[in-house]
A and B are shown apart, each in its own frame.
Chain A
Amino acid sequence: MAKTLMKGNEALSEAAIRAGLKAFYGYPITPQNEVPAYMAEHLPLRGGVYLQAESEVSAINMVYGAAGAGVRVMTSSSSPGISLKQEGISYIAAAQLPCVIVNVVRNGPGLGGIQPAQGDYFQAVKGGGHGDYHMIVLAPGNVQEMADLTTLGFDLADKWRNPVMILGDGILGQMMEPVEFAENQEPVNVEKPWATTGAVDREPNIVNSLDIIPEKAEKNMQALLAKYEKIKEEEVRWQEDGTEDADVILVGYGTSARVARSAMELARKEGLKVGLFRPITLWPFPEQRLRELAKPGRKFLAVEMSAGQMIEDVRLAVNGVSPVYLSNRLGGMVPTPEDVLTKTRDIVQGRVN
């Protein structure tokens, strides 16, 4: 198929439908509104169900129901709405249901604003709701990846029986870029013998997250954690550019990684040895690769549209071997390449501690 110009929100919606999406349950909130609008327009004509729920809380619980019934299902929202979904996400993770949840992040906390931000990183990668669990968190860096990682998200969700979050932001959702979809893409059909589809010639299936017997509950948790360990082994994804001889490695995901890329190019023009490390999976975080890259004399600069959240995972990864600095903007402000360049110069010249 030829390239077409699409908003990130539209591209991920189209990718989801092509991945065999059977139901979308959503609720309006800026800046993700193109997703439900696209779904309402197209999904019912292509074999799926679109329903505007009465709240984000209901939407995520509809996702729980449909995922438990064995179909590919998704919801999307933006920061305050994602907070409302946390209860449901915790249940979905505990019941080990596959689904895709899109967060087109805006600035917070509270009602915050509607401009692009990355302040939901902790919430996305550390759990977000109650209890010990993880979502697989994918961070697209352009409109093509908004589509491709959504496709991947459905496959990973089914493969691991785990919720997957696409963590975008207002820029990635609203911006248009060329995007291409594979011809005749057939959705991967995964058998789901555990799903509630009607107990015909088998024992009833139960989708459940409750276990009040601690001995059993602990065993369940250990099984869940063992699954997470396997995901960590198999699903870590990242991209790096010019890291081999870099004195400073910029670390950023999503829109921040794009700004960092522009900053890197400016820095190289000045003769500075600057590389870029872009995590694509935020959970599992590419900690091992960052650990390998850390060495005395090399410095890291986390670029974020938050108060500094991902930087904690970078620090955990490099484990004191290299210093890690922060270049960030807040409140829906987007860092400029010049901001990042200035900080990079300061680091190279030892003007920051």
Chain B
Amino acid sequence: MKTVFQKPEAMTDVPMHYCPGCTHGIIHRLVAEAIDSLGIREQTIGVASVGCSVFAYDYFNCDMQQAAHGRAPAVATGIKRVRPEAMVFTYQGDGDLASIGMAEIVHAAARGENITVVFVNNAIYGMTSGQMAPTSLLGQKTATSPRGRTVEEMGYPIKMCELLATLDGPAYLSRVSTHDSRHVLQAGKAIKKAFEMQQQKKGFAMVEVLSTCSVNWGMTPANALKWMAENMVPYYPLGVYRDVTAKEGN
């Protein structure tokens, strides 16, 4: 029988705890496929963060460390500096990376730390049950913005790719989405590229992946994908914000 689809080697058999319709599972698979396709599973050390992806250490079939909230880029730096031959990646959500871990991500990027960051932006805190995130959209209702996010009270959502693109350190910054299969494929390419950048010692690479949280958004999974395409993508434009290899003409 011809195998048409199988679990990547870089993923374990552990059943995921993610809610039905959540796009974390897809993004995990994209990361694992990238690791498989580059043949780097045995040299990869992943860093799980705090939030919905806290159990990522159980799902990736490679050495993993679990970091304190927001500190994954510091933990990854600690690893990469003493094991420069290892392929080190972090997998972080928006609360972890863009709120409590803002200092760590900005400085890792500014140093051009040779790590790969997978930043999953679903505009809400999922694990703690639906509080406002630094990336929640204006008007978005959450447990802690019950009348919708307003500029007056909570200020503006943070655009991480654009923010980090003001620094000289990053080698690769890209924003992708998971709202349909075409975009999922593009996301996979971007994630693979972010690992390649590390392999080629280009420096800091981050892929921001727009993701859904249908449960906390209060939508069906299908409507969540639609809402993401219609609301998140316009505010968080997709595309490549930095690619040092493009300049080199590769």
Interface-lining segment among A7-15, A195-203, A299-307, A345-353: A195-203
Residues of B within 8 A of A209 (CB): 66
CB-CB under 8 A for A25 and B78, given A69-B45, A69-B83: yes
Q: Kindly name the residue among A25, A49, A63, A208 whose own CB sees the greatest number of chain B CB atoms within 10 A.
A: A208
Interface-lining segment among B54-62, B128-136, B192-200: B54-62
A21–chain B nearest beta-carbon distance, Å: 11
CB-CB under 8 A for A51 and B81, given A196-B65, A199-B62: yes
Closest to A59 in B: B74
- How far apart are the CA atoms of A199 and B45 in the complex, in Å? 8
B42–chain A nearest beta-carbon distance, Å: 5
Q: Are A204 and B82 in contact (CB under 8 A)?
A: no
Closest to A57 in B: B71
The answer, yes or no, to whether B68 is at the interface (CB within 8 Å) is yes
The answer, yes or no, to whether B43 is at the interface (CB within 8 Å) is yes
Closest to B76 in A: A65
The answer, yes or no, to whether A285 is at the interface (CB within 8 Å) is no
A71–chain B nearest beta-carbon distance, Å: 5
A189–chain B nearest beta-carbon distance, Å: 15
Q: Are B79 and A196 in contact (CB under 8 A)?
A: yes
Secondary structure dominating the interface of B: helix
B116–chain A nearest beta-carbon distance, Å: 15
The answer, yes or no, to whether A58 is at the interface (CB within 8 Å) is yes
Binary contact track B234-246/A, C-beta < 8 Å → 1, others 0: 0000000000000
- How far apart are the CA atoms of A199 and B61 in the complex, in Å? 9
Q: Kindly name the residue among B41, B43, B83 whose own CB sees the greatest number of chain A CB atoms within 10 A.
A: B83
Instruction: Name the one of B62, B82, B104 contacting A61, with C-beta atoms under 8 angstroms.
Output: B104
CB-CB under 8 A for A207 and B82, given A54-B107, A64-B75, A69-B45: no
Residues of B within 8 A of A205 (CB): 63-64
The answer, yes or no, to whether B103 is at the interface (CB within 8 Å) is yes
Q: Are B78 and A23 in contact (CB under 8 A)?
A: yes
Instruction: Name the one of A23, A57, A61 contacting B81, with C-beta atoms under 8 angstroms.
Output: A23
From residue 30 to 68 of chain A, which have CB atoms closer than 8 A to chain B? Answer: 49, 51, 53-55, 57-59, 61-68
Q: Are B82 and A71 in contact (CB under 8 A)?
A: yes
The answer, yes or no, to whether B211 is at the interface (CB within 8 Å) is no
Instruction: Name the one of A22, A199, A210 contacting B54, with C-beta atoms under 8 angstroms.
Output: A210
Q: Kindly name the residue among A25, A51, A59, A61 whose own CB sees the greatest number of chain B CB atoms within 10 A.
A: A61
The answer, yes or no, to whether B122 is at the interface (CB within 8 Å) is no
Number of A-B contacts (CB under 8 A): 128
Q: Are B74 and A53 in contact (CB under 8 A)?
A: yes
Q: Are B78 and A197 in contact (CB under 8 A)?
A: no
Residues of B within 8 A of A197 (CB): 45, 63, 83, 86
- How far apart are the CA atoms of A198 and B82 in the complex, in Å? 13
Q: Are B66 and A206 in contact (CB under 8 A)?
A: yes
Residues of A within 8 A of B34 (CB): none
Q: Are A61 and B64 in contact (CB under 8 A)?
A: no
Binary contact track B67-97/A, C-beta < 8 Å → 1, others 0: 1100100111111111100100000000000
The answer, yes or no, to whether B114 is at the interface (CB within 8 Å) is no
- How far apart are the CA atoms of A208 and B42 in the complex, in Å? 19
CB-CB under 8 A for A208 and B66, given A62-B74, A62-B81, A68-B79: yes
CB-CB under 8 A for A200 and B42, given A65-B47, A206-B63, A207-B65: yes
Binary contact track A188-227/B, C-beta < 8 Å → 1, others 0: 0000000011111000111111100000000000000000
The answer, yes or no, to whether A91 is at the interface (CB within 8 Å) is yes
- How far apart are the CA atoms of A154 and B86 in the complex, in Å? 24
The answer, yes or no, to whether A180 is at the interface (CB within 8 Å) is no
- List residues of B whose CB falls within 8 A of some A CB: 41-45, 47, 54-55, 57-58, 60-68, 71, 74-83, 86, 103-104, 106-107
Known: A54-B104, A58-B103. 14 other contacts (CB 8 A): A51-B77, A54-B107, A57-B104, A61-B74, A64-B71, A66-B82, A87-B68, A196-B65, A198-B86, A199-B41, A206-B63, A206-B66, A208-B57, A208-B66
